[in-house]
């Protein structure tokens, strides 16, 4: 469905979709990468494979608060973002020129590696509740950047300390933890006063549960955003800070997702 998807994307761009989304969304349809981009992807994937070979086991808390023991291979390949969507995050970071990036839900640091690898990133902070995964994320991010900080904390406790330090605004926020309706909107409300103009907010797994899907539908009509995009796995929202209602765009069908389908 790549030709149809690219046609729809170009129509949306003509209708006012922010131009910074062109390159990341085109990648989802054509898979094309420039040599420098491919070099970043290959480097992050080498870090993933090093994680997979780690003999340690890890305790991971799922979205319902249940602790599950996982092997390093499971952390690398099941709990962490995959190559395609990690590449998409990297392209978003580059395209939006995000100097400051905040991630809620660091896991092993794979998504953070993709985000912080942008040459424009000056500060990257990720919050991870598991002490074991936070330590692993710090190891992995340290291989790529000295601009990355890993905070082992509950999200709200971390935000109490971190948000006032983003004095020039957050350029990109990636929400990948606590995938429930109330929690998602609560964290968004906390972030909004600190979002810079034109900032991108990425919501992961918008079809993971009824609550997450309901939260995304709320974001699609939320005042303050200029535009939203249903990109299948991700929900993308571009912050304007004004009183306008966002223009909603839907690329889920050409990307192979049925709108409104959830798994739990």
Do the Cβ atoms of 172 and 237 come closer than 8 Å? no
> What's the pLDDT at 1?
59
The neighbour count for residue 214, using CB atoms within 10 Å, is 17
Q: Are 114 and 90 in contact (CB under 8 A)?
A: yes
Does residue 66 form part of some domain? Answer: no
User: pLDDT at position 93, please?
Assistant: 98
* The pLDDT of residue 208: 92
Indicate the pTM of the whole model: 0.95
pLDDT at 64: 62
Residue 87 domain-assigned (yes or no)? yes
State the Cα torsion 239-240-245-247 to the nearest 10°: -70
Q: pLDDT for 104-113, tens place per residue? A: 999 999 999 9
Query: What's the angle, vertex CA 107, arms to CA 105 and CA 110, rounded to 5?
Result: 110
- Residue 147 falls within a domain, yes or no? yes
136 inside domain:
yes
pLDDT for position 65: 64
Query: What total of structural domains would you count in the chain?
Result: 1
Residues of the chain with pLDDT under 50: none
Whether 45 is covered by a domain: the verdict is no
Q: How many angstroms separate the CA atoms of 3 and 138, rounded?
A: 40
65 domain residue, yes or no: no
Query: Domain containing 123 — which CATH number?
Result: 3.40.50.150
- pLDDT tens, residue by residue, 48-77: 999 999 999 988 766 566 778 999 999 999
Q: What range does the domain containing 150 cover?
A: 2-31+80-250
Residue 51: inside a domain, yes or no? no
CB atoms within 10 A of CB 69: 9
């Amino acid at each position: 469905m790549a030709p149809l998807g690219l046609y729809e994307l170009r129509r949306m761009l003509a209708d006012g979709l922010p131009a910074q989304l062109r390159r990341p969304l085109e990648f989802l349809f054509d898979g094309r990468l420039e040599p420098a981009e491919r070099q970043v992807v290959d480097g992050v994937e080498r870090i993933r494979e090093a994680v997979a070979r780690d003999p340690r086991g890890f305790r991971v808390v799922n979205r319902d608060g249940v602790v599950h023991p996982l092997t390093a291979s499971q952390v690398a390949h099941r709990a962490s973002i995959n190559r395609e969507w990690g590449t998409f995050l990297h392209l978003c970071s580059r395209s939006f020129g995000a100097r400051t990036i905040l991630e809620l839900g660091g896991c092993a640091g794979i998504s953070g590696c993709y985000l912080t690898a942008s040459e424009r990133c000056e500060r990257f902070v990720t919050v991870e509740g598991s002490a074991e995964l936070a330590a692993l994320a710090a190891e992995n991010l340290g291989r790529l950047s000295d601009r990355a900080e890993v905070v082992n904390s509950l999200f709200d406790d971390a935000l109490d300390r971190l948000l006032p330090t983003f004095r020039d605004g957050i350029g990109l926020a990636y929400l990948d933890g606590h995938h429930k309706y109330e929690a998602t909107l609560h964290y968004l409300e906390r972030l909004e006063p600190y979002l810079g103009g034109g900032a991108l907010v990425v919501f992961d797994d918008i079809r993971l549960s009824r609550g997450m899907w309901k939260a995304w539908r709320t974001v699609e009509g939320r005042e303050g955003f200029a535009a939203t995009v249903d990109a299948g796995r991700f929900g993308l929202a571009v912050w304007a800070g004004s009183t306008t209602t966002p223009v909603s765009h839907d690329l889920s069908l050409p990307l192979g997702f049925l709108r409104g389908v959830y798994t739990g």
